[in-house]
Amino acid sequence: MIINPVLTVREKHYKLYLGNPIIVTAPGRINLIGEHTDYNDGFVLPAAIDKSITFAISRNKSDRFRFYSFDFDESFQTTDLNLKNAPQWVYYLIGVIAQFKKLDIDIAGIDCVFGGNIPIGAGLSSSAALECGFAAGINKLFNCKLTNYQLVKMAQTAEHEYAGVMCGIMDQFASVYGKKDHVFRLDCRSHDYNYFPLKMDKYVIALVNTKVEHELASSEYNLRRKECEAGVAILKNDRPNISSLRDVDHALLVSNRDNIDPTIYNRCSYVVSENQRVIDACEALDKSDFEEFGKLMYQSHEGLRKKYQVSCKELDILVKGTIDIECVLGSRMMGGGFGGCTINLIKRGFESDFENEISHIYKKETGIDPDFYFVNLSDGVSVMS
Ligand code: GLA
């Protein structure tokens, strides 16, 4: 774990490349509610967190891309964007470079050292932070003058093309547009967003890491996306002007029940309900009604578990384990699913009780000691010269 990230990446950059780099920091994200809604043109409620990746990036005078990852203690260099058999983390960086090249921006010769404290594979979007931070760094170094929105879209496309995950826009948007002490509701159709201050004097956001990562996660993710599209295709026969599940309500779904495969029906039904939950959750936030907010979190988990089927045994144990713990207002799986973290809203001052009780339950049932992160909401990507 890096203690002083800026100093550490700067020093390492100097040792490896003798360069004079710019420093970029890109955060991971949480999502309070609105899961698997982003690629359905729906609503999400994410925030950037105080876990991030720090980069030291400079231009070199060659056509060579040289990288060093602290987390993997691994170096890599190439001049070629058509890589085979490179370490996984390299593809995110190369994927970003490829997006700049597509815009005919002549990107060559980069030295980049990066590292941070976003746990990998925990569903906190370390990959989006990697893409967004690197994109922001290139934007500055090569004076490309691209907007934040363009950088978000390029980072998302890098994930599609180089990691093979057909993700929505939430993770990259959160890493760039995050704001300290705020969550934001993002309309994933128009990309309009509204910040909500999260007054956390009485509450804490606790993430619990299952420490499991299922192989199936990315293929199941892409499958869910296809299932939603299949649902829309059928519903279009009835209502030709719809283009995504965002345009669908329960009445339309129910009246088409006999035409839709039951699994697809459940996927669609979950998404329609989850979109409404994001709207309800924002109303609850406006009223500082955290009890109501917590209930919506539990409902979201139930939908993800039963209808969307992206939870797993370990996530369910963690969520179920909170039900009888008094200090917990809400709990649910977060992110793509099949492992990673749960997000929990708990009363401030009860952090260690929560940790003790959940550790005990989880260890007893799985043999694993879970990790806990009590996170604060932070600003998005920042670039320092
Ligand atoms: C992953 C994806 C996001 C989003 C979530 C589920 O984190 O990258 O785009 O779809 O899963 O809400």
Contacts of 256 (CB under 8 A, 6+ apart): 234, 235, 238
Residues with CB under 6 A from ligand 1: 35-36, 38-39, 167-168, 170-171, 335-336
pLDDT along the chain (385 residues), means of 10: 81 93 98 98 98 97 96 96 94 97 93 96 96 98 97 98 95 98 98 93 97 84 97 98 98 98 98 98 96 98 98 98 97 97 98 98 98 98 92
The two beta strands, 382-384 and 203-213, are unpaired
Tell me whether residue 181 is one of the annotated catalytic residues: no
Beta strand residue intervals within 246-327, DSSP E: none
Kindly report the pTM of this predicted structure: 0.96
171: left (phi over 0), alpha (psi -120 to 50) or beta: alpha
Pocket test for ligand 1, best of 171, 186, 218 (most atoms within 8 A of CB): 171
Contacts of 90 (CB under 8 A, 6+ apart): 67, 76, 78, 83
pLDDT reported for residue 216:
67
Residue 221 CA, closest ligand 1 atom number: 11
pLDDT reported for residue 1:
54
pLDDT reported for residue 2:
64
CA of 334 to the centre of ligand 1 (A): 9
What distance lies between CA 308 and its chain's CA centroid?
Answer: 18
Q: Which of 50, 171, 249, 324 is catalytic?
A: 171
The two beta strands, 382-384 and 22-31, are antiparallel
364 token code pair: 């007893």
DSSP 163: I
Q: Whose Cα sits closest to atom 8 in ligand 1?
A: 167
CATH numbers and ranges of domains, the chain: 5-198+379-384 (3.30.230.10), 203-375 (3.30.70.890)
Q: Contact 343/32 with Cβ under 8 angstroms? A: yes
pLDDT reported for residue 11:
94
Q: Whose Cα sits closest to atom 11 in ligand 1?
A: 336
Residue 31 CA, closest ligand 1 atom number: 12
pLDDT reported for residue 6:
86
